[in-house]
Amino acid sequence: MKILVTGGLGYIGSHTAVALQQAGFEVLIVDNMSNSSIDVLEDIASITGETPQFKYLDLRNKEDVHHYFKTHREIDGIIHFAASKAVGESVENPLLYYENNLSTLVYLLQECAKYEIQNFIFSSSCTVYGEPDRLPITEKAPIKKATSPYGNTKQISEEIIFDTTQVSALKAIALRYFNPIGAHESVEIGELPLGVPQNLVPFITQTAIGLREQLAVFGDDYPTEDGTCIRDYIHVMDLAEAHVIALQRLLEKKNKTPFEVFNVGTGKGSSVLEVIQAFENVSQMPLNYKVVNRRPGDVTAVYADTGLANNELGWKAKRNLEESLRSAWKWEQKVKLKKKDY
């Protein structure tokens, strides 16, 4: 079966491409390389022995999208990752986010209707929940007003997909990711943040390797046990495997409704200081960090209720925080050796 992975050279996309190939799917990748490198294609092949079919495609170009589908028949399903994902940048440049994340989705869904592609997995985020009233968060938690244009695009995308499934043959699953970290165990692929990392774990590993002077811990006056924010950090390969299982659910017509959503997290919350501590254990070295002011927009605590994903989807995260951090650290060391571009 042929599966189109949009944004398949990116962080989560590349790991999912590997998981798909290992599950026996033929993978087609499109990517505009705005935040990824063509080298990833061969890195994927070095793990699986198979180079995915690749085409440079900017999904904002409707004509090009149409041409791609016209010339690539027999796509059985789509996993749609291609999108912009930096919260701060989305506040600075909302229209870029609405165009990159929404018009592209509309064009893709139009082609799905034209070419009768019925299976669609969407890359959503726990950001759709905002500051939760109750923890752990279930999929039934209310969707609150988004705190950034990025978050808003994820909410609107889910609505666009839901509405489409109500009037067409499309079946879709939105996976609401918590905080993906780590790298494939082969360390052939991993996260390659552009510039200064915004996310905690790449900032930690880059500090440990000497690329950054010091990690700033954003606030220790939150109402949590040690005062730092709590998140649900999930190994990127666990997340990748969730996509394969979700896709199989649609292909085997096991979905209960045309549009389903699942939380994809571990169910365990870890504070920023706990992550630092776990990283120090894994790397056997102290991390240079300093507590600074809160970062605007951060919620206090978010972690998943994974009951629905465990029981209904039949998926469960297998790797723990230490394992995830170990792979992130190995990856950082490998990147340094290979002198990959930061």
β-pairing verdict for 233-235 and 119-125: unpaired
* In the complex, minimum distance from the CB of residue 188 to ligand UFG, in angstroms, rounded to a whole number: 23
* In the complex, minimum distance from the CB of residue 125 to ligand UFG, in angstroms, rounded to a whole number: 5
Alpha-carbon distance of 158 to 117, in angstroms, equals 18
Of 295 and 316, which has the nearer Cβ to ligand UFG? 295
Of 199 and 248, which has the nearer Cβ to ligand UFG? 199
* In the complex, minimum distance from the CB of residue 231 to ligand UFG, in angstroms, rounded to a whole number: 5
Interface ranges with ligand UFG (CB under 6 A): 85, 87, 125-127, 150-151, 179, 198-200, 203, 215-218, 229, 231, 272, 295, 298
Residue that is written with structure tokens 């165009």 in the block: 99
Of 61 and 198, which has the nearer Cβ to ligand UFG? 198
* In the complex, minimum distance from the CB of residue 198 to ligand UFG, in angstroms, rounded to a whole number: 5
Given 150, 177, 222, 303, which residue is catalytic?
150
Q: Which of 198, 328, 312, 224 is nearest to 264 (CA)?
A: 312
Within a 10 A sphere around the Cβ of 37, how many other Cβ atoms? 15
The answer to whether 97 is a known catalytic residue is: no
Alpha-carbon distance of 82 to 80, in angstroms, equals 6
In SS3 terms, 222-270 reads as CCCCCCCCEECEEEHHHHHHHHHHHHHHHHCCCCCCCEEEEEECCCCCE
Alpha-carbon distance of 6 to 18, in angstroms, equals 14
Q: Which of 13, 43, 284 is nearest to 123 (CA)?
A: 13
Of 179 and 324, which has the nearer Cβ to ligand UFG? 179
Which residues are known catalytic residues?
150
